[in-house]
Amino acid sequence: MDFFIINFKLEKKSHYAIYYTNSEDGVMVDNNQITHFISKQKLLAHCKESGICCSSNSDDLYKCDLDVLGKWLRKGRKRVDCQFVLNAWNTMSDVARSLGKSFIGDDDDVDAIHFVYKKLFYGNNLPALKMKRKYTPSWNSDEIDTMSFILSNGLQIIREGLSHPSKHRAGLKPIPTYVTTSQRRFGYRNKLA
């Protein structure tokens, strides 16, 4: 198992956590909360005390800027950065699995979700795919709404995982929840309520 540092940026604050890769990827959790620290140094000290060999190389630091994602969800949602969105989606999936939560983006039984994911994946134009020309997906409003709904759900999962129960989410701003015609068709309206 390999361990890396992930920096969740939320409300202009950094939350450093331990990300692991194995047969399944995820984050370290304790009592249904993401184990996180206010500084990289505190996280590395915890790793040392716990006997976890975690890379301290800044090139291995993964940044998940939830503030940028939240801004995209609140405003516009026109331009889609496939790499940013796909990385966020995959991270949300890993975090949800670690916390034992259900993440809508993992619902492969819904064709619209699977289709949006595939467009994001191919929109990354990964060299391993050996595509003959660059693929730049175009997005219709239902696909943008589906993506927004999924990312809102994942953002909520991470936000809850970073909050401490004793704080009762004090000071956290509400996350916009997008429920559109396409999501109503999926039957997800009540899952975020």
* pLDDT tens sequence across 130-179: 777 888 899 999 999 999 999 999 999 999 999 864 333 333 344 444 44
Count of C-beta atoms within a 10 Å radius of residue 93: 20
Q: How far apart are CA 21 and CA 23, in angstroms?
A: 7
> Rounded mean pLDDT of 172-187?
43
> Rounded mean pLDDT of 76-83?
83
3-class DSSP string for the chain: CEEEEEEEEECCEEEEEEEEECCCCEECEECCEECEECCHHHHHHHHHHHCCCECCCHHHCEEEEHHHHHHHHHCCCCCCCHHHHHHHHHHHHHHHHHHCCCCHHHCCCCHHHHHHHHHHHHHCCCHHHCCCCCCCCCCCHHHHHHHHHHHHHHHHHHHHHHCCHHHCCCCCCCCCCCCCHHHHHHCCHHHCC
Residue 10, phi then psi, degrees to nearest 5: -140, 125
Is residue 85 scored above 50 in pLDDT? yes
Give yes or no for a contact between 1 and 21, defined as CB atoms under 8 angstroms apart: yes
Q: Give the list of residues 6+ apart from residue 79 with CB closer than 8 angstroms, or none.
A: none
pLDDT of residue 135: 83
- Give the tens place of pLDDT for each residue, 88-146: 999 999 999 999 999 999 998 889 999 999 999 999 888 777 777 888 899 999 999 99
Looking at per-residue pLDDT, the higher value among 181 and 38 belongs to 38
Q: Give the list of residues 6+ apart from residue 29 with CB closer than 8 angstroms, or none.
A: 35, 98, 99, 161
Max CA separation in the chain (angstroms): 54
Specify the pTM.
0.81
Beta bridge partners of 34: 29
